[in-house]
Amino acid sequence: MLFNSIDFAIFLPIVFVLYWFIFQRNLKLQNLLIVIASYVFYGWWDWRFLSLILFSTLVDYFVGLSLGKEERNGRRKLLLWISICVNLGFLGFFKYYNFFVENFTVAYSFFGNPIKADLLHIILPVGISFYTFQTLSYTIDVYRRKLTPTKDFISFAAFVSFFPQLVAGPIERATNLLPQFYKKRTFNYDLAADGMRQILWGLVMKMVIADNCAYFVNIIFENSEHYNGSTLFLGGVLFAFQIYGDFAGYSNIAIGTSKLFGFNLMQNFAFPYFSRDIAEFWRRWHISLSTWFRDYLYIPLGGSRGSTGFQIRNIFIIFIVSGFWHGANWTFIVWGALNAVYFLPLLLLKRNRNHLDIVAKGRYLPDWRSVVSIGLTFFITVIAWVFFRAENIGHAFAYISGIFSESLFDLPDIRNFHQFVLILVLISFFIAAEWFGREGKFATDGLKSKPRLVRWGSYMFLVFLIGMYMQTEETPFIYFQF
């Protein structure tokens, strides 16, 4: 079920009414309703894959209970590896099997022994990368004795399948989300109003910005050989706004929806395109995944300790694995490696933690150094996004080669000028809203302290934007494929 669909517009109020008006006095029934609603939400897409979620839930629930009773280190490690192998086994089978078989076939044939291998014709279960990492965080934290294993199966099942963030995050830690299912929840008007504000802004990001950018992005990327350098660069810039509007829009809707039910999820995006270097960008982009890899991979590898060579190795591992997490394609691996290359100078010069605060905090405008830094960071990010969007490595290199050609200084070849001007106006409004709202959790967060007339006038304007510029067809979120 898509957040931007009629189905969800009907589904959400029904669950909300049942949750707060029918089951409000019984915490267990509220949690059971969340489990049922989450399975309906996911099964709306394909009910057959519900068995995967249920199986992962059962495995990690019983592994957690066993870890709680077991004191012998050898047995504890065995239990942890059972959970890792089961969860990553499902992920590897559905997401990476064909990739490895294809590459093994190519490599074997390269040495003069052509072979033919059968590929699987299967659908990638939506959200498997997200809920796999979420449930793994539970087992790992119980193994590390940072979390007491739960005996409440319904709460645990609700934690694994919580529908607002089930298919595209934020990837919640068990230490943050699971305890919230144990506590009695009472309706909080301010929290719910905040959630509605965040949902509205998320819909603007997705339906007004991302979907309208997608129109030009698809045309330019799918016909890149026919366009000059300036148009190709423009395509990269529009894709940067498309993927941000799409993914951060989803996160805002997910976090806002959770607030309607009394839950607080972690912030997943913090105005990443105002970053002054790539290290700051990665502290602000897909925060739940970045911190997951930091806590469960980077730090166990040694993090920033040890020799310089050791640190460089860890940086490349973390970025390449992060790229591979996004998809079984060499384009994602190169995208991850390229970001590691971007990060390297900051690591070697020990400047990777220079910008921890939001830019121009307490001021309306940034200084010129910040403007230049933001521009350069955005530029290299756009180049990296080309790999993320391209069909394959050859396409990505041809696209970038086309950008850095003499035609980069020609006028862009735009064939629907009226719509292009419109998207420029919408993006300009979007950047302004993000800039003036950058000290909040999301762009319109600050509206809660404005006079009622300003607040409601802004809501009406955002609803007007959605009504005027939304696509007539439902468009899936990009990160559903991951």
Supply the residues annotated as catalytic: 326
Through-space distance between the first and last CA atoms of the chain, rounded to whole angstroms: 16
Distance in angstroms (rounded) separating the CA atoms of residues 336 and 5 = 32
The string of DSSP codes covering 29-79 is HHHHHHHHHHHHHHHHHHGGGHHHHHHHHHHHHHHHHHHHH---HHHHHHH
CB count within 10 Å of CB 478 equals: 20
How crowded is residue 309: how many other Cβ atoms within 10 Å of its Cβ? 8
Largest CA distance in the chain: 74
Exposed, middle or buried, 233 (CB in 10 Å: 0-12/13-18/19+)?
Answer: buried
Give the DSSP letter of residue 404.
T
**What 3-state DSSP class applies to 393?**
helix
Residues 31, 278: Cα–Cα separation, whole Å? 40
3-state secondary structure 244-293: HHHHHHHHHHHHHHHHHCCCCCCCCCCCHHHCCCHHHHHHHCCHHHHHHH
Rounded to whole angstroms, the Cα distance separating 113 from 152 reads: 55
Q: Could you give the 3-state DSSP secondary structure of residue 390?
A: coil
**Residue 139 burial class via C-beta count within 10 angstroms: exposed 0-12, middle 13-18, buried 19 and up:** buried
| Gap between the Cα atoms of 320 and 44, Å rounded | 33
With helix as H, strand as E and coil as C, how does 193-253 read? HHHHHHHHHHHHHHHHHHHHHHHHHHHHHHCHHHCCHHHHHHHHHHHHHHHHHHHHHHHHH
Q: What is the DSSP letter of 146?
A: S
C-beta separation of 308 from 350 below 8 A: no
